[in-house]
Amino acid sequence: MNQPNLNNKQLSELHSLFELVSKRQIKDFGNISASNKEDGSLITSCDLWSDKTIVDGLASIAPNEGVLSEEGGKHIPNSKAYWIVDPLDGTTNFAASIPYWSISVARFVDGKPQSSFLIIPTLKKKFVSIKGQGVWLNNQKIERKQNNNQSKCISLCSRSIKILQKQPNSVFPGKIRLLGVSSLNLTSVAMGQTFGAIESTPKIWDIAAAWLLLEELNCPIKWLGTDPSKLVAGQDMSNINFPLIAGRSIEKIEILKPWGNLLIAK
């Protein structure tokens, strides 16, 4: 039967699984070539190995819980608890020898993220988020944020920069940062490195782990289109985007809302 929460044995096995995948990705980094998928995005043999290793590992750690992954099945599983996996978020960086990518895995229960794991191999950082309990970075509990952060930076994705072209005479309300990794753009908000982020076309696997991390650190999200809390079993997620604004506070969301709305303007 599906368990509402992961037990200590499962958490330990997940740690070992992600450590195995992290080591392989570090080993392959800078020593592997990429090819194009049908949608034009890049993929490497390391993406495929990582995906299979994580999916197979989850089948052993959490039997009878479905898995949706970027490189595998993309339909919402028909189980009370299921997993959403991006085995290597930031393949373009990985393939270009830019040392910034993540392993992004989230477990959903009743359609909402219940726990998530976001690992940055090159920085030796592992975020674990558990609904209602908080966030840990490398096993150290992160205190819920204070709203006095003074960061002037805003994360954009490569597709959301088009909003600047739509308002060429307007001053953008912050210093722009493009990390090239959706999950880490959002994590930068949660950690106070940026005060907001605008994402244009993230898929569910891009945002699943960071979504819970933001929620647990009291960072609001404004969904600009489809609401991912209304996922339906069997739904094909291949071509569904979740444009969004994330902010350190509601006030920061309001600052970014006129710009984020440009993404969905006709």
Residues 15 and 129 in one domain: yes
| pTM to 2 decimal places | 0.94
Residue 206 lies in a domain: yes
Domain that holds residue 101: 8-142
Weakly modelled stretches of the chain, pLDDT under 70:
1-3, 145-149, 266
User: CB-based burial of residue 72 (10 Å sphere; 0-12 exposed, 13-18 middle, 19+ buried)?
Assistant: middle
User: What's residue 148's pLDDT?
Assistant: 57
**Number of structural domains the chain divides into:** 2
109 plus 164 within the same structural domain: no
Same structural domain for residues 128 and 15?
A: yes
Question: What CATH number did the domain enclosing 44 receive?
Answer: 3.30.540.10
- The predicted pLDDT at position 42 comes to 79
Q: What is the pLDDT of residues 126-142, one digit of tens each?
A: 999 999 999 999 999 99
Q: For position 14, what pLDDT does the model report?
A: 98
What pLDDT does 145 receive? 62
**Same-domain status, 115 and 171:** no
* Residue 63 in domain: yes
Residue 190 included in any domain: yes
| CATH number of domain containing 185 | 3.40.190.80
